[in-house]
Amino acid sequence: MANGLLAAGFNFSMVDAGEFNDWYDTEHLPERKGCEGFLNAVRWVGVDDPKVAIATYDLVSHQVLHDPAYLAIARDNLSPWSKRITAKMKRLLRIEADQLIPGNEVARNDSPNLLIFASNVKAENEVEVLQWYTEEHIGNLKKVPGVISARFFHSHAGTHNYVALYEMDSPQVCTSAEWKAAALTPWTKKMRPFLNDVLYVVLKRYGSQG
């Protein structure tokens, strides 16, 4: 069975940064890390906008998100603190996904940067988009110098139905000539109109996690 992924992101401009980080570090992440089936929990913040925060959680399977342990702390059962904080923020991303490529890889412990590319693909375009990701796009970008890992997911619920995560050793990797040559192929240009509601964010690992 493929690994799962939970990813959630916010713009927290309307929340005090100190309280936001206290909430994430002392309650929100520990609650989720304590659920059976959660393999890790990593916080990221925007390179260009530090008020953008995204957390990624690798899972044994996305079915973990339907288990009683998770449901007890999520959705309608969020804590009062969580409800108060999340009500003030703008949600950018939430996905509950299966890992399609490579299938069972998890986040590295020391990757300093992450590029997240999320999109919605209409049903009539999914076959070719999946073929493009599988046969060309992920493989091309994984070979770019500075790319540590490249993973691709299908989401069953949330804001986007496809998400790619690229761990990198610097934010400049995705602006390099090698990246552009790998990414901007004729097939990529053909696929672009099929990728809707795109979220493209370059992130750095949240500092207090070391």
pLDDT, tens only, 192-203:
999 999 999 999
Mean pLDDT of 135-144: 98
Phi, psi of 146 (to 5 degrees): 95, -10
Mean pLDDT over the full length of the chain: 95
| Cβ density class 164-189: b for 16+ within 10 Å, e for less | bbbbbeebebbebeebeebeeeeeee
Domain of residue 118: give its range.
Answer: 4-209
pLDDT value, residue 210: 37
Name, in order, each residue with C-beta under 8 angstroms of 45's C-beta and a sequence gap of 6 or more: 52, 53, 54, 203, 204, 206
pLDDT at 209 over 50: no
Single out the residue of 141, 127, 120, 136 nearest to residue 187, CA to CA. Answer: 136
Question: Which residue in this structure is represented by tokens 């000539």?
Answer: 177
Quote the number of domains for the chain. Answer: 1
pLDDT value, residue 207: 81
CATH at 90? 3.30.70.100
pLDDT value, residue 53: 97
Alpha-carbon separation of residue 78 from 7, 70, 85, 194 (angstroms): 16, 10, 11, 35
pLDDT at 144 over 70: yes
Question: What is the percentage of the chain residues whose pLDDT exceeds 90?
Answer: 96
pLDDT value, residue 2: 87
pLDDT 10s digits, 49-73: 999 999 999 999 999 999 999 999 9
pLDDT at 161 over 50: yes
Q: Give the C-alpha separation, 159 to 162, whole Å.
A: 9
